[in-house]
Amino acid sequence: MTLLQEADRRIVSERLAAIERPVRLLFFTQTIGAPESTLVTRQILDEVASLNDKVSVEEVNFVLEKDRAAAYGIEDIPAIVLLRNDADTRMRFLGAPSGYEFASFIDAVVLAGTNDSGLSVATRESLSARLKDPLDILVFVTPTCPHCPKAVTLAHRLAVESPLVRATCVEATEFMELSRRYRVNGVPKTVVVNHDVELLGALPEDEFVEGILRGSGQDQSTSDTQ
């Protein structure tokens, strides 16, 4: 049984046609005691990989390969790490990328398989001039939120653009403890975990980036002198 209807498969296949470089999806799971969502996650990954020969899936046992999980900052399952030519794109998914988040997952796969973050010239210049310290970004979402994919994809674009950014899409209802820790009462909610930054809603690119940089205490001199 497939998750995607034939019409959806055609649309996804057309989107994946933009991929230029091999994309490997590291799927972190475990054999015993895995959440039910791991089965759905694996099926989603397999179906997407079947639509483009540049996309592959590698299963990583979260229990038996702890060092590898730690190397990618994976602390729970199911989790997905996207690699481009074996290099970490710093894009992550925690939880099944289902519902509206399937769109942001496809966007992430395409981002991993190309060289362009898709960010504006102004954003790229701002990141280059002002971003000095690592940012660990979490974007909390739910499968029924139509506005969440915009926030997720923006965060992922930042990760692709800058080696100092790691961005993770977190399915809030699957990881309630994490949601409580960061006081998630609505989605999308973006949090920079190593700084006191919280952004609510699907913001335009310039507001999203400015909120993250200013809240994270990054150098503001470039923007302030313009």
Task: Dig out the tokens for 105 from the structure.
Answer: 């997952």
Q: How confident is the model at residue 226 (pLDDT cuts 50, 70, 90)?
A: very low
Q: Report the alpha-carbon distance of residue 44 to residue 49 in Å, rounded.
A: 9
Band (217; pLDDT cuts 50, 70, 90): confident
- β-strand 87-94 against 55-61: which pairing, if any? unpaired
Residue 34: the pLDDT is 92
Domain boundary among 85, 112, 139: 112
Instruction: Select from 72, 88, 112 the last residue of a domain.
Output: 112
Shared domain check, 65 and 137: no
Share of the chain above pLDDT 90, in %: 90
Number of domains in the chain: 2
In this structure, the number of other CB atoms found within 10 A of the CB of residue 5 comes to 9
The side-by-side arrangement of strands in the sheet containing 23-29 is: 55-61, 23-29, 79-84, 87-94, 165-171, 135-141, 189-192, 197-200
Alpha helices (runs of H) in 59-204, residue ranges in sequence order: 66-71, 101-112, 121-130, 148-161, 176-181
Same domain, 139 and 91: no
Residues 92, 134, single domain; the answer is no
The residue among 93, 112, 131 that closes a domain is 112
Same domain, 131 and 105: no
Residue 1 lies in a domain: no
Domain of residue 50, CATH code? 3.40.30.10
Neighbouring-strand partners of residue 135: 165
Residue numbers of the domain that contains 12: 6-112
- Summary mean pLDDT of the chain: 94
With a cut of 90, say whether residue 185 has pLDDT above it. Answer: yes
Tell me, yes or no, whether 57 and 99 share the same domain.
Answer: yes
pLDDT in tens, 83-97: 999 999 999 999 999
pLDDT band of 1, cuts 50, 70, 90: low
Q: What is the DSSP code (8-state) at residue 72?
A: T
Mean pLDDT for the stretch of residues 28-32: 94
Measured distance CA(104)–CA(201) in Å, rounded: 16
Q: Rounded to the nearest 5 degrees, what angle is found at the Cα of 48, between the Cα atoms of 42 and 49?
A: 85
Q: Does some domain include residue 199?
A: yes
* Residue 197 one-letter amino acid: V
To the nearest 10°, report the CA torsion of 71, 75, 76, 80: -30
pLDDT (0 to 100) of residue 223: 39
Show the CA angle centred on residue 40, arms to residues 36 and 44, nearest 5°.
160
Q: Does residue 57 lie within any of the structural domains? A: yes
Name the band, by pLDDT with cuts 50, 70 and 90, for residue 182: very high
pLDDT in tens, 132-159: 999 999 999 999 999 999 999 999 999 9
